[in-house]
Amino acid sequence: MDSIAAPATLDDPLYYLRNFETVLRWVSECHGDLLDAAERAFVDGVAALPVAPRALLTRMVMRSGELFRADKLRYPEIGPATPALTALEAVGWVRRDGDLALEELFRLYTKAELGCALAARLAAAGLDRHGRKADWLAALGEPAPAPRPLSGWDPDGHLPAAWRLTVMPVCERLRLMFFGNLHQDWREFVLTELGTFRYEPVALDAASRPYRSRADLDAWLDLHACRERFEAGEPADAVAADLPDGDTGNPWVEERRHKLRYKLARQWEREDQLERAEALYAQCQYPDARARRLRVLERRGEYRAALTLAEQAAAAPESEQERQQLARLRPRLHRKLGLPKPVVAPPPTTEAWTLTLPASGFVEGAVAAHLSRDDGPVFYVENTLLTGLFGLLCWDAVFAPLPGAFFHPFQSAPADLYQPGFRHRRRRWFDDAFAALADDRHRGPILDTWRRKFGTASPFVHWGALSEPLLTLALERLPAAHLAAYGERLLGDIKANRAGLPDLIQFTPDGGYRLIEVKGPGDRLQDNQRRWLAFFAEQGIPAAVCKVEWAGP
């Protein structure tokens, strides 16, 4: 199956067309039932086109935007653009300029060209050719002129022709079907072929695909459109009105839906629309939504309602983070309501000390340099070391070929990495990994994986930060039991616990090690850093906080 989607060789001048055809074939074979009639007609129609228009279409799809100047579509391997464009126009996949907005006109043409074509308008606006292009656009855009065909902007025909691609929406949908997301694009094929990206080869089965139904895809695309509008600055009210509120049962779709709800509610909070924010949080399952809802109730002075919800939450906290937030919130609510102080177990204490150092830009580096000795080196590792050791030890678990986890050859992680059953579904592999730790025979396999897989994309291993000397030293010094404790906590909540680890690791001259979180003046521990430090204290894993003051002048 993976051979079907392998990138084409770059020796072929039409390699990009081969790759596009690979995706079309793949979609047609594995996702044919998700296509509607028009999409099916497009996929079949591409195959029926002569090679020149087919290749030009592919070039346009893979470039950015939907608008192109004919004179910028020059490809030696395709030949003249005009006949190819004519063929594409005949099937309706491109059309001549159509209505061009002023911004589009300015994006297509250079300042010099616009100076000619728009000479009259510019003169009327009192602009000469010495101003800046952005100022021209601002001046001519006030009041906003109606979009019009190129001839409407440029009656004398100074400007070269523009063409508009009309099939971008269907191509985006195909991209989504293939990749399961829209942040990967067609360049994956080339960069993989070049060796710039390396992905772990995982056997794919025909049933593996991200979307089961057309409804899943439609919902995903709708949500994506809503999110883009929101991020473009459209008011939360308008976006919320269009936000579909169904439930597809597809975890990836639903996660996006709840995340967008969370962001909209957050925006309403900022606008002091607390009632609406609270109502939206109430139907939002994104992590932290319940904590935000509590905060909103508190801000509205609804202490009684807040306390009721807080007690519900405390009875079944959704995460350690929520437990931590509740431990701060409940005393506040009790005070407001005149209730006795609740008993809250204080977190275990972590050793802390203060260093006074000559001023320098990079606090972590300054502390590392100050503490480092020949027989006691210090590395700036933050999340990369422990997470990397875990990723190396559990490589086979992470890339286990479970149904539905991998559906194309360019995945750096299984699709269900953050889903609740992730660990359980791979317990066979994880049990092996933890057994290796229990028997203290993890070092060989970790080092071996480091050598074999170096450079291959992994959700846990950041190769640039994990040199062999660091790795060997860490393996020598870190007890297996510490690694096991770390791994268990990470697996308990991968998303929340993959960050927040201390800045430095110090390999002490006595043959041990110590993790050090550096805090410059005005910087304080983040919640996730506190949780890790509390855990390390419980587990007897050596960790400390180093506060830094800059030496006075």
Partner DNA sequence: CATGCGGGCG
Partner DNA sequence: TTCACACCGTCTC
Partner DNA sequence: GACGGTGTGTCTCGCCCGCATGGG
To DNA, the closest distance from the beta carbon of 217 in angstroms equals 19
To Mn ion, the closest distance from the beta carbon of 524 in angstroms equals 10
- Specify the DSSP element, H or E, that contains 548: strand 543-550
Residue closer to DNA (CB basis): 513 or 532: 532
Does position 495 interact with DNA (CB under 7 A)? The reply is: yes
Candidates 98, 103, 108; CA nearest to 151 is: 98
Q: Which residues of 345-380 are buried (b: 16+ CB within 10 A; e: fewer)?
A: eeeeebeeeeeeeeeeeebbebbbeebeeeebbbbb
The one of DNA, Mn ion, none whose footprint includes residue 516, by CB under 5 to 8 A per kind, is: none
Does position 295 interact with DNA (CB under 7 A)? The reply is: yes
Please state, as a whole number, how many other Cβ atoms lie within 10 Å of the Cβ of residue 52: 19
Does position 321 interact with DNA (CB under 7 A)? The reply is: no
- Lookup result for tokens 């999409």: 39
To DNA, the closest distance from the beta carbon of 274 in angstroms equals 11
Tokens matching residue 343: 């008993």
Is 490:417 a contact under the CB 8 Å cutoff?
Answer: no
The one of DNA, Mn ion, none whose footprint includes residue 75, by CB under 5 to 8 A per kind, is: DNA
Q: Which residues are within 8 A (CB) of 213 and not within 5 positions of it... i.e. 6 or more apart?
A: 34, 248
Using CB under 5 A as the binding rule, the residues of this chain from 298 to 327 that contact Mn ion are: none
Does position 526 interact with DNA (CB under 7 A)? The reply is: yes
To DNA, the closest distance from the beta carbon of 341 in angstroms equals 11
Question: Contacts from 25-31 at CB under 8 Å and sequence distance 24+?
Answer: 26/178, 26/408, 27/174, 27/177, 27/178, 29/4, 30/206, 30/209, 31/177, 31/209, 31/211
Q: What pairs with residue 280 in β-bridges? A: none
Does position 196 interact with DNA (CB under 7 A)? The reply is: yes
Does position 64 interact with DNA (CB under 7 A)? The reply is: yes
Distance, in Å, from the CA atom of 229 to the CA atom of 234, rounded to the nearest integer, reads 6
Is 321:532 a contact under the CB 8 Å cutoff?
Answer: no
Does position 63 interact with DNA (CB under 7 A)? The reply is: yes
Distance, in Å, from the CA atom of 9 to the CA atom of 328, rounded to the nearest integer, reads 58
Which residue of 191, 238, 282, 339 would you call a contact of DNA, by CB under 7 A?
A: 191
To Mn ion, the closest distance from the beta carbon of 160 in angstroms equals 52
To DNA, the closest distance from the beta carbon of 42 in angstroms equals 21
Residue closer to DNA (CB basis): 346 or 421: 346
To Mn ion, the closest distance from the beta carbon of 506 in angstroms equals 14
Its sign, for the CA torsion 451, 495, 228, 243, is positive
Does position 518 interact with Mn ion (CB under 5 A)? The reply is: yes
Does position 228 interact with DNA (CB under 7 A)? The reply is: yes
Distance, in Å, from the CA atom of 285 to the CA atom of 253, rounded to the nearest integer, reads 13
Residue closer to Mn ion (CB basis): 42 or 486: 486
Largest Cα–Cα separation, the chain = 83
Does position 174 interact with Mn ion (CB under 5 A)? The reply is: no
The one of Mn ion, DNA, none whose footprint includes residue 325, by CB under 5 to 8 A per kind, is: DNA
The one of DNA, Mn ion, none whose footprint includes residue 410, by CB under 5 to 8 A per kind, is: none
Which residue of 4, 123, 238, 499 would you call a contact of DNA, by CB under 7 A?
A: 499
Is 114:105 a contact under the CB 8 Å cutoff?
Answer: yes
Given the rule CB under 5 A, which of 159-167, 232-240, 517-525, 540-548 is the region that contacts Mn ion? 517-525
The one of Mn ion, DNA, none whose footprint includes residue 328, by CB under 5 to 8 A per kind, is: DNA
The one of DNA, Mn ion, none whose footprint includes residue 538, by CB under 5 to 8 A per kind, is: none
> What is the size of the binding site for DNA (CB under 7 A)?
55
Does position 16 interact with DNA (CB under 7 A)? The reply is: yes
Phi and psi, residue 527, nearest 5°: -55, -45
Given the rule CB under 7 A, which of 22-30, 46-54, 62-70, 274-282 is the region that contacts DNA? 62-70
Candidates 477, 395, 468; CA nearest to 436 is: 395
Task: Return the SS3 of 547.
Answer: strand
Given the rule CB under 7 A, which of 39-47, 323-331, 350-358, 395-403 is the region that contacts DNA? 323-331
Is 302:294 a contact under the CB 8 Å cutoff?
Answer: no
Using CB under 7 A as the binding rule, the residues of this chain from 87 to 146 that contact DNA are: 110-112, 132-134
Using CB under 5 A as the binding rule, the residues of this chain from 469 to 508 that contact Mn ion are: 503
Pairing type for strands 514-519 and 543-550 reads parallel
To Mn ion, the closest distance from the beta carbon of 430 in angstroms equals 28
Question: Contacts from 6-12 at CB under 8 Å and sequence distance 24+?
Answer: 6/409, 7/189, 7/190, 7/192, 7/193, 8/189, 8/193, 9/193, 10/190, 10/193, 10/194
Q: List residues near DNA by CB under 7 A.
A: 10, 16, 59, 62-65, 75, 110-112, 132-134, 183-185, 187-188, 190-191, 194, 196-197, 227-228, 231, 266, 269-270, 295, 325, 328-329, 332, 335, 363-364, 382-383, 464, 495, 498-501, 503, 518, 520, 522-524, 526, 528-529
Q: List residues near Mn ion by CB under 5 A.
A: 503, 518
